């Protein structure tokens, strides 16, 4: 998932108000990890995706690397070596917790899809002043820009392996080839990034885009605060 220009409701909001939505949603999800609570949060998460004009199917496709781990946790927790072989009661809370994480990822995907990297860095440095905020902002900017490139490199490596009939190899060999290729490309990207930063006289305090709160941002922020209060009070 990466930023895509658009004219959706979330695209027009200030990144700070969108961060408030993420924090409030995460607090509510962790405070009410119950079927009823997660059902309400599911509707809210789908509403956030609709406001970002983002397809849930596209988000799930982008999260396909994470989904097996979320599914595996309740299966491992409920598995038994003897009859009845699977304990539904033991797997219930891990399943709810995994679904909770999935919902939080959906809302985070809407943020990434609608927020420029420079805006995210400006928001982080506004929230955390000083050199610490500058370091955090720089880290956020590098992650948002670097991770999609690395994922593209891995996809290209897999496509190249399939084109050379690498899919006929055993699974262990395929994993080794993709991992080795991915790490080599990652180190090469890191070296190129370091050279590029030095060539551009990298500084901790670049000129960042101005941030401004509009009427919609205040509405979203108040709604986020209300969600936190209700989640903690109920």
Q: Please tell me whether residues 25 and 82 are part of one structural domain.
A: yes
Same-domain status, 105 and 132: no
Over the stretch 136-149, which tens digit does the pLDDT of each residue have?
A: 766 666 666 666 77
Within a domain: 229: yes
pTM of the prediction?
A: 0.70
Q: Are 202 and 142 in contact (CB under 8 A)?
A: no
**Residue 185 shares a structural domain with residue 222:** no
Q: How many domains does the chain have?
A: 2
Whether 74 and 164 map to the same domain: the answer is no
Residues 157-171 have pLDDT tens digits of 778 777 777 777 777
- Domain span at residue 166 reads 127-199
> Does the CA dihedral 1-120-12-29 come out positive or negative?
positive
Do 106 and 170 belong to one domain?
no
Does the residue 91 lie in any domain? yes
Give tens-digit pLDDT for 92-116: 888 888 888 888 888 888 888 888 8
* Domain match, 177 and 90 both: no
Please report whether residue 94 resides in a domain: yes
- Distance between CA atoms of residues 35 and 112, nearest Å: 27
Q: How much is the pLDDT for 202?
A: 63
User: What tens digit of pLDDT does each residue of 24-40 get?
Assistant: 988 888 888 888 888 88
Residues 48 and 102 placed together within one structural domain of the fold:
yes
The residue assigned the tokens 């506004």 is 126
């Amino acid at each position: 998932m990466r930023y895509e220009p658009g004219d959706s409701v979330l695209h027009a909001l200030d990144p700070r108000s969108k961060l408030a939505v993420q924090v409030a949603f995460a607090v509510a999800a962790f405070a009410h990890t119950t079927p009823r609570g997660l059902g309400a949060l599911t509707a809210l998460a789908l509403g956030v995706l609709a406001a970002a004009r983002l397809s849930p199917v596209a988000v799930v496709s982008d999260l396909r690397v994470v989904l097996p781990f979320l599914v595996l946790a309740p299966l491992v927790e409920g598995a038994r070596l003897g009859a009845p072989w699977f304990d539904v009661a033991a797997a219930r809370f891990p399943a709810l917790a995994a679904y909770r994480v999935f919902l939080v990822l959906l809302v985070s995907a809407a943020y990434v899809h609608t927020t420029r990297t420079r805006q995210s860095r400006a928001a982080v440095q506004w929230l955390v002043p000083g050199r610490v905020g500058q370091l955090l902002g720089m880290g956020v900017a590098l992650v948002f820009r670097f991770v999609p490139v690395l994922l593209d490199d891995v996809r290209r490596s897999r496509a190249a392996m399939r084109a050379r009939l690498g899919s006929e190899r055993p699974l262990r060999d395929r994993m080794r080839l993709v991992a080795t290729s991915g790490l080599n490309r990652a180190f090469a990207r890191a070296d190129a990034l370091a050279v590029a930063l030095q060539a551009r006289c990298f500084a901790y305090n670049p000129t960042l885009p101005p941030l401004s709160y509009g009427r919609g941002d205040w509405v979203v922020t108040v709604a986020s605060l209300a969600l936190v209060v209700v989640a903690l009070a109920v």
